[in-house]
């Protein structure tokens, strides 16, 4: 009998982790909630390098951005571009914009065109910024400059892209 009481006391004394019930209709999600990831920046984004979607209804998806640090400065900048459509894209041109600390575009450098991007294909492009000298607080922003596909053509407007960049730069302030 004393063994049974001791075992019962030990079992009752153990604490169990709380049962977590996920409510899909909750308007206050927890920090680890998957729903928070749907609006995040492209992977690799930080205050120094990020991307803006200048053609949100288009087939092009910016999958990742990165700063490729070299042994000898300056760094190069990489972008992974994918075709999220079922139709191929004949040609697209990405561009890298250099943005100052206030979100103002200092210079824009087009990246060589990507031809015949098949459905669900991802291509990596790397660029060295040559149009201006980068200050320590400058940032690099990637965006879609123009696109030609079976669905139609798209060419970004500088004023619209500048506004998108300014908004994104405000979300990722310089430390």
Whether residue 149 lies inside any domain: the answer is yes
- Tell me what pLDDT residue 75 has: 86
- Tell me what pLDDT residue 28 has: 60
Q: Is the pLDDT of residue 111 over 80?
A: yes
Number of domains in the chain: 1
Whether residue 122 lies inside any domain: the answer is yes
Nearest to 90 by CA among 62, 113, 64, 57: 113
- Tell me what pLDDT residue 133 has: 84
CATH number of the domain residue 157 falls in: 2.60.40
Domain that holds residue 165: 42-171
Average pLDDT, the chain: 83
Residue, of 174 and 145, whose pLDDT is higher: 145
Whether residue 18 lies inside any domain: the answer is no
Whether residue 77 lies inside any domain: the answer is yes
Whether residue 3 lies inside any domain: the answer is no
Q: What does 20-79 look like in DSSP terms, one character per residue?
A: P---TT-SS--TT-GGGGGGPPPTT--SSEEE--S-TTSSEEEEEEEEE--SSSSPEEEE
Whether residue 86 lies inside any domain: the answer is yes
Q: Is the pLDDT of residue 108 over 70?
A: yes
Whether residue 167 lies inside any domain: the answer is yes
pLDDT-based confidence at residue 23 (cuts at 50, 70, 90): low
Nearest to 93 by CA among 145, 58, 52, 140: 145
27-47 pLDDT, tens per residue? 665 544 555 544 456 777 888
Whether residue 163 lies inside any domain: the answer is yes
Q: Measured between alpha carbons, how far is 90 from 61 in angstroms, rounded to an integer?
A: 15
């Amino acid at each position: 009998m004393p063994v049974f009481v001791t075992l019962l006391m030990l079992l009752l004394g153990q604490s169990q982790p709380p049962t977590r019930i996920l409510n899909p209709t909750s308007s206050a999600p927890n920090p680890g909630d998957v729903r928070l990831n749907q609006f995040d920046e492209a992977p690799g984004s930080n205050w120094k390098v990020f991307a803006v979607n200048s053609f949100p209804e288009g087939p092009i998806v910016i999958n990742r951005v990165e700063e490729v640090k070299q042994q000898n400065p300056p760094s190069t900048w990489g972008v992974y571009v994918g075709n999220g459509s079922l139709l191929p894209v004949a040609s697209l041109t990405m561009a890298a914009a250099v943005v100052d600390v206030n979100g103002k575009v200092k210079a824009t450098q087009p990246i060589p065109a990507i031809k015949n991007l098949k459905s669900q294909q991802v291509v990596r492009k790397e660029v060295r910024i040559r149009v201006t000298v980068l200050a320590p607080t400058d940032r690099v922003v990637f965006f879609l400059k123009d696109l030609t596909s079976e669905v139609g053509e798209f060419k970004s407007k500088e004023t619209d892209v500048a506004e998108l960049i300014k908004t994104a730069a405000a979300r990722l302030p310089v430390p």
